[in-house]
Amino acid sequence: MDTKLFFQAIAKFLLGFALVGLLIFLPAWSLAYAQGWLLMAILFVPMFIAGIVMMFKAPELLRKRLDAREKEKEQKAVLALSGLTFAAAFIVAGLNWRFRWLVLPLWASIIAAVVFLAAYALYAEVLRENAYLARTVEVQEGQKVIDTGLYGIVRHPMYMSTLLLFLAMPLVLGSPISLAIMLLYIPIIALRIRNEEAVLEKGLEGYPEYKQRVKYKVIPFIW
């Protein structure tokens, strides 16, 4: 086992747990926010399990997933906008629960949690299919076009799964207001895909032909 990679993964996991927890529970001003704990559980328990599996089965993939340093200027802006959107959605969810503006019933949050976990399973399948799946937009040495499995249906199945994940989060937190904020992620991800495809067309052999074969980017028959 790579000790340095292990401690890097644990540090990022704990930092993410603390940051999300603060963004949710501090505005709520209470630890009795049940939907907040529900999101923390379905977000971080599978994340921890996936990290352990990758640590032993695919350490290079884990290393790529931990490296979020973008080289593309446009992608840095996309990441900044995404971060602001997430922070706003989580903060508003906590305030929504605290002041009881428009809170969904617990059963609705549980249904959203099931959708979230299904999207997480989809995300795991994408990771299994594509060993080149870095968090940054780049063409890696020896990279080849993946066109089987989910990649034979849409060109960006990772974004298909993350779109489901991110839109389910506000509903798990019981906040329709936060869902309205999180909808901003759609144009943000569209910008990321546009730049990513430009990079892949330029640097990845066979990608223009792959675009001709697989017409849809994220959602079959829609986008």
In a domain, 146, yes or no: yes
Is residue 129 in a domain? yes
- Model confidence at 54: pLDDT above 90: no
At 137 the pLDDT is 52
In a domain, 221, yes or no: no
pLDDT of 143 over the 80 cut: no
Two tokens, residue 187:
């144009």
Q: For the segment 113-125, what is each residue's pLDDT rounded down to a tens digit?
A: 999 999 999 988 8
**Strand ranges for the chain from DSSP E:** none
Looking at the chain, how many residues does it have?
223
Query: Is the pLDDT at 195 greater than 90, yes or no?
Result: no
Rounded CA gap, 96 and 44, in Å? 22
Q: Over pLDDT 70: what percentage of the chain?
A: 90
Name the token pair of 108: 């609705």
Confidence of residue 148 (pLDDT cuts 50, 70, 90): confident
pLDDT in the model for residue 154: 94
Nearest to 47 by CA among 89, 10, 91: 10
Domain membership of residue 206 (yes or no) is yes
Contact 51, 9 (CB under 8 A): yes
The answer to the question of residue 220 being in a domain is no
Rounded to whole angstroms, what are the CA distances from 144 to 26, 93, 203? 45, 41, 11
Q: Encode pLDDT of 79-93 as tens digits.
A: 888 899 999 999 999
pLDDT band at 73 (very low <50, low <70, confident <90, very high): low
190 in a structural domain: yes
Give the tens place of pLDDT for each residue, 97-114. 999 999 999 999 999 999
The reply to whether 219 falls in a domain is: no
What would the two tokens of residue 79 be? 């990441």
Please check whether residue 126 is in contact with residue 161, taking contact to mean a CB–CB distance below 8 angstroms.
Answer: yes
140 phi, psi to nearest 5 deg: -90, 160
Domain encompassing residue 41: 3-213
- Name the least confident of 1-5, 79-83, 101-105, 155-159: 1-5
CB 115 within 8 A of CB 168: yes
- What pLDDT is recorded for position 135? 53
Q: How far apart are CA 95 and CA 191, in angstroms?
A: 30
> Chain-wide mean pLDDT for the chain?
88
Q: Which of 98, 136, 116, 107 is nearest to 179 (CA)?
A: 116
Gap between the Cα atoms of 36 and 141, Å rounded: 41
Contact 89, 182 (CB under 8 A): yes
SS3 of 145, please? Answer: coil
Is the residue at 41 inside a domain? yes
Distance CA 72, CA 92 (A): 31
Q: How many domains does the chain have?
A: 1
- Residue 174 is predicted with a pLDDT of 98
Query: Which among 87, 126, 93, 98 is positioned nearest to 218, based on CA atoms?
Result: 126
pTM: 0.88
Question: pLDDT tens-digit profile of 32-53?
Answer: 999 999 999 999 999 999 888 8
Token duo for residue 128: 């299994």
| CATH number of the structural domain spanning residue 166 | 1.20.120.1630
